[in-house]
Every structure is written in C-alpha cells, then in structure tokens.
Chains A and B, each alone.
Chain A
Amino acid sequence: MVPTSYYIILSAALFAIGVLGVLIRRNALVVFMSVELMLNAANLVLVAFARERLSIDGQVLVFFVITVAAAEVAVGLALLVAIFRTKHTADVDEVSTLRG
C-alpha cells in the first residue's frame, strides 16, 4: 500500500502547477483549466485521506466537489463566451477593467 504522504506530495505538486498556470498564462481558457487542475489536486488528497482513515465521507465530499466543479465550468465558460462576444479576446490582460 502506497503511503498517504506520497499522494499528498503529488497533490501539492499538481496544485502548485495549477497556481502557476493561473499566474503565468494569459489565455483565459488555460487559466480556467488550471483552476480545474487545482480542484483535482484537492480531490486527490481528499480521497487519499479517506483511504488513510477508512472513512468514506471523504469520497462523498469529492463527489460533491466534482458536481459543483461541473456547474462552475458551465457558468464560467458561458461567461467567457459572453466576454469574447463583447471584447473579441480571451486574453485576461485585455479585460482588466470592469467596464463592458
């Protein structure tokens, strides 16, 4: 059985890559993908701890996280399409003002 600490280190690395994606990339869609990566890293560590404690509640929590992530992706992508329609760009630096 692989120790839980291995999973946590892997999850930390994936989370940091997601943070880097949000900080470095300018394509709004790739920034959004990085957010999904961070959510997945958190899910992984939740499942790892559920295994560590033999408590299935962690898996239930991951189920809810995935559901909310699905809703979040739908709304987020709809927002991006709406922004693209008015600004004609998906570069996050171009939409730094709140004006429409």
Chain B
Amino acid sequence: MDFVLFFITAAVALIGAIAMLVARNAVHSALFLLLNFAAIAVLFLLLQSPFLFAIQLTVYAGAIMVLFLFVVMLLGAERVEDTPDRIAWQRPLAVALGVALVAVAVAGVLRGVWEAPPGGEAAAAFGDPAHLGALLLTNYLLPFQVTGIILLIAVVGVAVLNQRGRAAPAARRAPTGE
C-alpha cells in the first residue's frame, strides 16, 4: 500500500515539475508547481510528518503560490519568452549538466548502505505535531524567534522596495534612455 501511494505521488510530483519546466505560459507553470507542492505534501504525510503536511499546504500551496500567481498576472509576464533566445546554444549544455547531476546523485545513493527504517514503538510515536511544537519552544527557541525577525524584515523590505514615495519621482525624472 505504501509503495503504491509512493509511486503514484512521485509520478505526480515529477509530472508537475516537468510540466512546470516546459509550460510556455507562466500561469500554467505556477499551477503545475502547485500540483508538485501538493504531491510533496502527500509524501510528507507518508513520511509521518502531518505537521509539515499542513504547513506545506497552507504556506506553500496557499500563500506562496497565490503570491506567484498574483505577481504573474499583475505584471502580465505570462509570455515573455516569445522573443528568440540569444543564448540558445546553452540549452543542450544545460540539459546535459542536469542529467549529469541526477547521475551523480543516484550514484551516491547506490553506493550508500541502506538499512530498513526502524519500526516499533518509537516509530509509531514519531512525527507527533505536539512534540515538534514543544521542541520549537524549547531547544529551538532562539531560531524560532529569529525566523520571526526574518519575517518582519521581509515585510519591511517589501514595503520599502515598492514604496511610491519621495524616492520614486526622483528616479523617474532621471534619464533612463527610454
């Protein structure tokens, strides 16, 4: 049962990723990436992490992808690649290097010694969201608070980057050659 679920979900994840790569329209890319994120969320559930499953769906599939779709549609940047590629010769090189990367990673996996994951009582209790939450507020309290500061700085940074205040008219007056 586990294997069936894994292979179906892995196939969905790979199809979503490849479709994101080849889709011409950026909106389609975003939606295929959403499919990939959902598949990875299911894989998290298979790996006994229900908390990360929920986080993946709400933060990634919810917030981040909505932001992506919003910006793609706001900018009207769905099809910026209709112009001819000036460095088209790099494309086969990129594909070759990507295949080499997979080959190296798979070779590394095959060289490793893999025992069966442990089972029993410890495995049954593993991945409890309450345990993870307790850990966040004890052992990982400082990193947890730092992430709060990071999010605050990100919010302030976004506001500064997109302000239309005093700085913007001066920049617009400067000769830009357009």
Q: Is the CB of A40 within 8 A of B131?
A: no
Which residue of the partner chain, among A7, A56, A82, contacts B161 with CB atoms under 8 Å? A82
Partner-B contacts on A (CB < 8 A): 1-10, 12-21, 23-30, 32-34, 36-37, 40, 43-44, 47-48, 50-52, 54, 56-57, 59-60, 62-64, 66-75, 77-82, 84, 86, 88-91, 93, 100
Contacts A37-B20, A63-B132, A68-B147; is A47 near B44 (CB within 8 Å)?
A: yes
Partner-A contacts on B (CB < 8 A): 2-3, 6, 10, 13-14, 17-18, 20-21, 26, 29-30, 33, 36-37, 40, 43-44, 46-49, 51-52, 55-56, 59-60, 63-64, 67-68, 71-72, 74-75, 77, 80-81, 83, 85-87, 90-91, 94-95, 97-99, 101-102, 105-106, 109-110, 112, 114, 116-119, 122-123, 126-127, 131-132, 135-136, 140, 143, 147, 150-151, 153-155, 157-158, 161-162, 171, 176, 178
Q: Is the CB of A2 within 8 A of B46?
A: yes
Residues on the B chain within 8 Å of A78, using CB: 157-158, 161-162
Q: Is the CB of B21 within 8 A of A17?
A: yes
- Chain B nearest CB from A81 CB (Å) reads 6
Q: How far does the alpha carbon of A34 sit from the alpha carbon of B51 in the complex, in Å? A: 24
Residues on the A chain within 8 Å of B95, using CB: 20, 24
Q: Is the CB of B114 within 8 A of A4?
A: yes
Q: How far does the alpha carbon of A89 sit from the alpha carbon of B79 in the complex, in Å? A: 10
Which residue of the partner chain, among B51, B98, B109, contacts A19 with CB atoms under 8 Å? B98
